């Protein structure tokens, strides 16, 4: 019975923890402009993250070591440094966006300007990392994040025209007033938001924190195979609700209040309260994950002791890295930069960093030295290679599309 509960809890936290500020903003922006035309990108992105997170989880379960440690050992310090550089900077940018997201949510809850909340949010993230047990931290954020299901409920309550919804999903062109390149820019942004690099590093390092072994392989399969796709449904709920409320009003989503207002429109004050709890949990959870991931990646590359299971005095570089990253994120936001703008940049640059993050995972997941006889089968390898091609195309196209379309404007 305890085992089944653990599986259920893992799946629920995977659903609730799937969405972060990048998913919230990008899906609402895309939904208001393109309806559900880009739902296919969410599906493609979810399958990709399922594949690669599963491979990362498998490596941990079978070798007992986190992906980044093995990447350095397997590829050498120089190649791993490129991987580290891209992933670390992207994760730091995402951490900045998440802390900005917490501050914006607290503004919506209290009416007090977000600048005042940035220090509070940063301090809260550090205190949780310092004081709260890993499992408690992960489960609380994931379970509270489940309240984001109100986006899906709102979509149904708002009463979509089902014929129009099917048309949006099946017919990609034309979009009146939108250039095809803008459409492709958002395809890449949405893909980047779904496959954010920190997710696999956190998943892999978190599995080490939770002492996964061979017996946990099934848990890994269920967490990513059921939890992530259901998390993807939340993304579609965000896009669908944004379309139904904002498109008729000719509104382009550019703030967090516009992301949550469709739920208030559909479900009133209770819905608004639930969605704000969900957004706060999602951004807080992702801020914790990204802050930890900054520490994980650098410590694993450098060979320092790492992990929350160590007392801070036993892993000082790991904890100092986290503190420095939090201070950088706080400093960037204190300049008054728009957190939504940071989020938009973070999802685009995530797409750029994807090949450097995901290609080494595929190499390691095929190395018998680490996974024994459980190397990828031909079907998994074929799918992973197809995704690697998609990832490379998205990475190459991301910056030109961003410049050509003026960040999708």
Residue ranges that bind other proteins, judged by CB under 8 A: 107-111, 177, 179, 181-182, 245-246, 249-252, 254-255, 257-258, 260-261, 264-265, 268-269, 272-273, 276, 399-400, 403-406, 409
Which of residues 254 and 366 has its CB atom nearest to other proteins in the complex?
254
Q: Rounded to whole angstroms, how far apart are CA atoms 131 and 268?
A: 36
Q: How far is the CB of 257 from other proteins (least distance, A)?
A: 4
Which three-class secondary structure state does DSSP give residue 255? coil
Q: How far is the CB of 276 from other proteins (least distance, A)?
A: 7
CB 282 within 8 Å of CB 19? yes
Q: How far is the CB of 110 from other proteins (least distance, A)?
A: 6
CB 299 within 8 Å of CB 306? yes
**CA 141 from chain center: how many Å?**
13
Which of residues 242 and 362 has its CB atom nearest to other proteins in the complex?
242
Hey, what's the torsion of the CAs at 329, 341, 285, 240, to 10 degrees? 180
Residue 134 backbone phi and psi in degrees, to 5: -55, -50
Which of residues 111 and 368 has its CB atom nearest to other proteins in the complex?
111
Q: Rounded to whole angstroms, how far apart are CA atoms 64 and 52?
A: 17
Which of residues 33 and 308 has its CB atom nearest to other proteins in the complex?
33
Q: How far is the CB of 117 from other proteins (least distance, A)?
A: 12
Q: Rounded to whole angstroms, how far apart are CA atoms 198 and 53?
A: 10
Q: How far is the CB of 147 from other proteins (least distance, A)?
A: 14
User: Which helix or strand (DSSP H or E) is residue 181 part of?
Assistant: helix 180-194
Q: How far is the CB of 184 from other proteins (least distance, A)?
A: 11
Which of residues 113 and 386 has its CB atom nearest to other proteins in the complex?
113
Q: How far is the CB of 33 from other proteins (least distance, A)?
A: 11
Q: How far is the CB of 52 from other proteins (least distance, A)?
A: 28
Which of residues 42 and 256 has its CB atom nearest to other proteins in the complex?
256
Which three-class secondary structure state does DSSP give residue 82? helix
CB 101 within 8 Å of CB 278? no
Q: How far is the CB of 107 from other proteins (least distance, A)?
A: 6
CB 259 within 8 Å of CB 28? yes
Which of residues 270 and 389 has its CB atom nearest to other proteins in the complex?
270
CB 97 within 8 Å of CB 349? no
Which of residues 77 and 403 has its CB atom nearest to other proteins in the complex?
403
CB 312 within 8 Å of CB 130? yes
Query: How far apart, in Å, are the Cα atoms of 180 and each of 9, 184, 330, 364, 391?
Result: 42, 6, 37, 38, 20
Which of residues 124 and 407 has its CB atom nearest to other proteins in the complex?
407
- The answer, yes or no, to whether the previous bond of 137 is cis (omega within 30 of 0) is no
Q: Rounded to whole angstroms, how far apart are CA atoms 335 and 225?
A: 41
Whose CA is closest to 204, among 9, 76, 64? 64
């Amino acid at each position: 019975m305890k085992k089944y509960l653990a599986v259920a809890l893992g799946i629920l936290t995977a659903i609730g923890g799937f969405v972060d500020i990048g998913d919230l903003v990008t899906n609402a922006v895309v939904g208001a402009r393109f309806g559900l035309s880009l739902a296919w990108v969410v599906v493609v992105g979810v399958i990709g993250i399922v594949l690669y997170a599963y491979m990362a989880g498998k490596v941990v379960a079978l070798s007992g070591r986190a992906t980044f440690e093995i990447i350095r050992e397997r590829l050498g310090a120089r190649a791993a440094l490129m991987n580290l550089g891209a992933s670390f900077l992207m994760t730091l940018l995402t951490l900045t966006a998440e802390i900005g997201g917490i501050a914006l949510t607290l503004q919506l809850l209290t009416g007090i300007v977000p600048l005042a909340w940035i220090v509070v949010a940063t301090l809260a993230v550090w205190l949780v990392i310092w004081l709260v047990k890993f499992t408690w931290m992960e489960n609380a954020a994931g379970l509270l994040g489940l309240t984001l299901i109100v986006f899906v409920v709102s979509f149904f309550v708002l009463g979509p025209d089902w014929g129009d919804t099917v048309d949006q999903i099946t017919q990609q062109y034309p979009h009146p007033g939108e250039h095809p390149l803008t459409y492709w820019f958002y395809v890449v942004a949405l893909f980047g938001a779904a496959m954010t690099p920190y997710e696999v590093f956190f998943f892999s390092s978190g599995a080490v924190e939770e002492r996964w072994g061979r017996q946990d392989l099934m848990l890994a399969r269920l967490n990513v195979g059921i939890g992530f796709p259901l998390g993807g449904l939340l993304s579609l709920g965000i896009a669908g609700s944004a379309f139904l409320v904002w498109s008729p009003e000719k509104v382009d989503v550019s703030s967090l209040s516009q992301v949550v207002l469709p739920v208030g429109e559909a479900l009133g004050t209770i819905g608004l309260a639930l969605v704000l709890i969900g957004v706060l949990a999602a951004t807080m959870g992702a801020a914790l994950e990204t802050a930890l991931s900054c520490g994980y990646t650098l410590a694993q590359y450098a060979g320092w002791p790492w992990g929350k299971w160590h007392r801070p005095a036993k892993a000082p570089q790991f904890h100092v890295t986290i503190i420095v990253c939090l201070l950088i994120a706080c400093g960037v936001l204190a300049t008054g930069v728009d957190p939504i703008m940071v989020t938009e940049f973070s999802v685009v640059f995530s797409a750029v960093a994807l090949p450097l993050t995901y290609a080494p995972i595929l190499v390691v997941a095929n190395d018998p030295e680490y996974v024994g006889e459980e190397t990828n089968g031909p079907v998994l390898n074929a799918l992973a290679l197809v995704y690697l091609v998609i990832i490379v195309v998205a990475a190459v196209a991301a910056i030109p599309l961003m410049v050509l379309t003026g960040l999708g404007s």
